[in-house]
Amino acid sequence: MALAGAGAFYVRHRFTARLDAIAAEIRADKTGLLPRADLPAEVLALAQKLGARSDDLPGVVAFTQSGEMWMAPGAKPTAFTASQIAGVGSAAFLWRAAMNPARAILVADYFVHGRGGLDVKLLGIFPIAHMLGDADMNRGEMLRYLAELPWNPDAILLNPSLDWSVIDPQTLKVATGRGADRAEITFTLNADGLITDARAESRPYADKGRMIPLPWHGRFWAYESIGSRLMPREGEVAWELDGQEFVYWRGKLLIWTR
């Protein structure tokens, strides 16, 4: 019994240590921390509206969330609490969540050095899901990084890997990556110049062991000042399945730091 307990502790410790190492890699990356001179005027105006800064700050943002997730259409919601760090000068993030009423299911969703991954473990020991680094995974995680720029406004001003284009005063596009991994998000701005919608023509959706490209979008609302930044306190993400919206993540921003 003691040996089993020691083994379980070792497995959980290795899982935690691996996530800590990913976080350390993201924090150590100081790429792209100088203001860009090539941003379209509309993108620069958005960054300024959100209070983006570039003065002697760390290379990551960190925040905590709480909310609910739905594993399938019609399923009961599962509560979660989560912490995340995201790169400012490079496209990278690590999301660590504890789910279900007992917080027994641990989830790690990440993108670092151009490679995405997802791990889900019961008690941090028993694997439930594991995905790593193919083109679908990488593109999906890049889309997530892009869609979450409202919670990472300094990256709009600083990240050199982001390719911006202006469709009209209320519509901006941002892309990153190359080839099969390239990801693009369309942002819709409201009359106040704030991002309310992030949309991708397709993001790979797991269905019975297959990855199917489906329309995907996120919404943001309840903007508030947090320090010198302006960002949404609430958001949700949805797939479009057979013409119906499937909201699978809805959360609130609790604490945000730079």
The tokens 């019994």 sit on which residue?
Answer: 1
Q: For residue 7, what is the enclosing H or E element? A: helix 2-28
All structural domains of the chain, each given as residue ranges with its CATH number in brackets, are 2-257 (2.50.20)
What's this model's pTM, rounded to 2 decimal places? 0.94
Which of 154, 128, 125, 155 is CA-nearest to residue 142?
155
Nearest CA among 90, 101, 239 for reference residue 161: 90
pLDDT digits (tens, 9 = 90+) for 165-179: 999 999 999 999 988
**Angle 72-236-158 from CA coordinates, rounded to 5°:** 130
User: 223-252: per-residue pLDDT in tens?
Assistant: 999 989 999 999 999 999 988 999 999 999
